[in-house]
Amino acid sequence: MALRIGVIGAGRIGKVHAETLVTRVPGVQLIAVADVISAAAEELAARLHIPVATADYRDIIRDTSIDAIAICSATDTHSPIIIEAAQAGKQIFCEKPIDLNLARIDGALEAVEKARVKLQIGFNRRFDANYARVRQAIQTGEIGDLHMLHIISRDPAPPPISYIKVSGGIFLDMSIHDFDMARFLTGSDAVEIYTVAGVKVDPAIGDAGDVDTAFMVMKFVNGATVTIDNSRKAVYGYDQRVEAFGSGGSISTDNQYPNAATISTGQHIRRDLPLNFFMERYTASYENEMRAFVDAITNNKPVPVTGHDGRVPVVMGLAAKKSHVEGRPVRLNEIS
């Protein structure tokens, strides 16, 4: 019988997951969608033939015919919804970050553990073919022992200042994906982080108390040195690449392009710009992560991205921020 699921939050990412569940994931039925803006929930329900639309996510949690939920609402609602859903025995998929506050994260993870439900965190990039190939090369020894890992992660344009003010800043809304990627690719954990960061793209970001350009170098438990290069603005588009270097060789990935054409003119040899942003670049990964969630629930397997995996990058983000503020390497165990 098909898994019955409800989506909480009908914003950008909620729509992506709803469409994926309806058109691309077998063995699942999308039963209900909730959004505080009821028109958003209704519009989405109408378009995708979802039976129930509601403004109150509790309608979904109370519906005993629903097996699982996908939490795509605002970050500060994640923890309370996780706790309520766990208590109601729902299986849970939750967008990253779980929360910006470690105590609240810990509360949510405790509720999940107590209720013995599953919780998968939405680090979708783990399900991208490029990163999966790099992880394979590292984990199978194809490039020997890992010495260095460089992660380049640059957005095509900064988000609105209003978003930056509530997102937790670059280390918690943007680098967090790369912290997770560092853990996923290395299969190890950070010990210490040193950050060099500043405002290069837009002074308004500085005025909002954030930086827009950040570089982090980290010592990992397995002895590898890992770096992250973040920018809020790469004029040529979404720049998402990694290079891993080891005793047996290296592996590096290129960006993804809308086509594989090269054009030669009297001026230069050129190709079109890469896929512009995460919706296009990571389309397949959103589909894959949702398939993996449905598979984990249906077949009672461990989820591929756990609550712990959701917690650690928040710790790393806090350490990176502290390093930036204090101008010195910060050990992760300095973060409570």
The contact set with a second copy (CB under 8 A) reads: 23-24, 129-130, 132-134, 137, 142-145, 147-148, 150, 154, 194, 196, 198, 200-201, 213, 215, 217, 219, 223, 225, 227, 229, 231, 233-236, 239, 245, 247-256, 258-274, 327-329
CA distance 292 to 21: 12
Q: How many CB atoms lie within 10 A of CB 120?
A: 25
Among 124, 127, 68, 115, smallest CA distance to 95 is for: 124
Please identify, using beta-carbon distances, which residue of 57 and 179 lies nearer to a second copy.
179
Q: Report in angstroms how near the CB of residue 329 gets to a second copy at its nearest.
A: 7
- E strands, 11-107, where? 28-34, 52-54, 68-71, 91-94
Q: Report in angstroms how near the CB of residue 322 gets to a second copy at its nearest.
A: 15
Please identify, using beta-carbon distances, which residue of 57 and 286 lies nearer to a second copy.
286
Q: Report in angstroms how near the CB of residue 247 gets to a second copy at its nearest.
A: 7
Residue 101 CB burial class (10 angstroms; 0-12, 13-18, ≥19):
middle
Residue 248 CB partners (closer than 8 Å, separation 6+): 141, 142, 143, 144, 145
Q: Report in angstroms how near the CB of residue 151 gets to a second copy at its nearest.
A: 12
Please identify, using beta-carbon distances, which residue of 187 and 329 lies nearer to a second copy.
329
Please identify, using beta-carbon distances, which residue of 58 and 200 lies nearer to a second copy.
200
CA distance 199 to 214: 9
- Please give the structure tokens belonging to residue 90: 């729902």
Please identify, using beta-carbon distances, which residue of 116 and 268 lies nearer to a second copy.
268
